[in-house]
């Protein structure tokens, strides 16, 4: 979950922008791994918790103002990613991560439902409890399930619109994954509010879906989905490091991580937009996933 800490993309700019610094890091570390993977890779194991295995429902909550024509397109882009990502070879890397019973993170990730909440908890969000209340409000609305029941094996995803202010977003995080007693969830702010902090430098000006904000949100989701599936209650594939929790997504992101480690083989469209994965006629920029078997960051097996 370290990707979500303040300035994660800013800290990575040094490694992303200049090939010279990438070379310096490789020669210094003598490895193709970032500091987290170098320190913890050999000993990384499940601490005894469950993973989200087999069929996992995803419920998306677009919070705030998503009424413009561009926002409507952004919603379709985001949902297209959620709906199709588990069919890719990128997702199959997560098969390496097993729960305490031996079951693997196999997918599929199923887009079960999505709704728009214009502001049931207000437009000035203050803490994680407020985020949880948004999810509970969505469940009670009846739009996420026929019987208004929580899905304890699913993942709830909140993504903010441009009119919503969150007290921690941009200043403490770009997004995060967490849980309550009844469910696990992912929170992602609106990257357009602080592109210098929450948008990868390579897509700040031009992005694969012509929307740096939603493409950045997808990049952030590609990190958080690794964490929430392999460590839904932060007692499985995670390591406590003081006040921080190191999870799968942190092995290929964060400070002193090179562009190659973070994003793998990046291609560009005819318009100059960077991407590294393509499915269902759409292109996205995702974070790589740490392969325990190969001890490296991969885009596919």
pLDDT at residue 223 is higher than 60: yes
pLDDT at residue 18 is higher than 70: no
- Please tell me whether residue 111 adopts helix, strand or coil conformation: strand
d(CA 207, CA 203): 5
Mean pLDDT of 165-173: 95
Residue 208 is predicted with a pLDDT of 99
Residue 1 is predicted with a pLDDT of 52
Residue-wise pLDDT tens digits, 129-166: 999 999 999 999 999 988 889 999 999 999 999 999 99
pLDDT at residue 4 is higher than 60: no
Mean pLDDT of the chain: 90
Residue 27 is predicted with a pLDDT of 31
pLDDT at residue 21 is higher than 70: no
Helix (H) or strand (E) holding 23: helix 19-29
Angle at 59 (CA atoms; ends 54, 63), nearest 5 degrees: 155
Percentage of the residues of the chain whose pLDDT score is greater than 90: 86
d(CA 175, CA 4): 5
Residue 199 is predicted with a pLDDT of 98
pLDDT at residue 30 is higher than 60: no
Residue-wise pLDDT tens digits, 59-86: 999 999 999 999 999 999 999 999 999 9
Torsion of CA 193, 195, 196, 201, to 10 degrees: 170
Q: How confident is the model at residue 15 (pLDDT cuts 50, 70, 90)?
A: very low
Residue 244 is predicted with a pLDDT of 86
Which residue in 266, 275, 277 sits closest to 300, CA to CA?
277
């Amino acid at each position: 979950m370290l990707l979500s800490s303040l300035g994660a993309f800013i800290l990575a700019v040094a490694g992303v922008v200049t090939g010279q610094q990438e070379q310096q890091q490789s020669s210094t570390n003598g490895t193709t791994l970032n500091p987290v993977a170098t320190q913890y890779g050999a000993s990384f194991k499940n601490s005894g918790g469950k993973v989200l295995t087999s069929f996992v429902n995803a419920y998306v909550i677009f919070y705030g103002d998503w009424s413009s024509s561009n926002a409507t397109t952004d919603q379709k882009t985001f949902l297209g990613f959620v709906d199709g990502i588990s069919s890719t070879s990128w997702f199959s890397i997560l098969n390496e991560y097993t729960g305490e019973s031996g079951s693997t993170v196999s997918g599929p990730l199923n887009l079960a439902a999505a709704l728009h909440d214009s502001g049931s908890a207000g437009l000035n969000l203050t803490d994680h409890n407020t985020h949880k209340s948004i999810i509970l409000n969505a469940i009670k609305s009846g739009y996420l399930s026929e019987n208004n029941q929580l899905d304890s094996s699913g993942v709830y995803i909140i993504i903010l619109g441009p009119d919503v202010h969150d007290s921690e977003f941009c200043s403490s995080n770009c997004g995060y994954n967490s849980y309550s007693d009844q469910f696990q969830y992912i929170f992602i702010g609106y990257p357009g509010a602080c592109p210098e902090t929450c948008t990868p430098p390579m897509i700040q000006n031009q992005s694969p879906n012509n929307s740096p904000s939603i493409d950045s949100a997808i990049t952030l989701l590609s990190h958080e989905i690794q964490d929430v599936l392999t460590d839904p209650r932060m007692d499985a594939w995670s390591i406590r490091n003081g006040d921080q929790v190191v999870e799968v997504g942190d092995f290929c992101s964060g400070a002193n991580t090179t562009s190659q480690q973070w994003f793998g083989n990046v291609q560009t469209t005819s318009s100059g937009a960077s991407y590294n994965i393509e499915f269902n006629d759409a292109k996205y920029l995702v974070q790589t996933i740490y392969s325990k078997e190969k001890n490296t960051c991969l885009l596919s097996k």
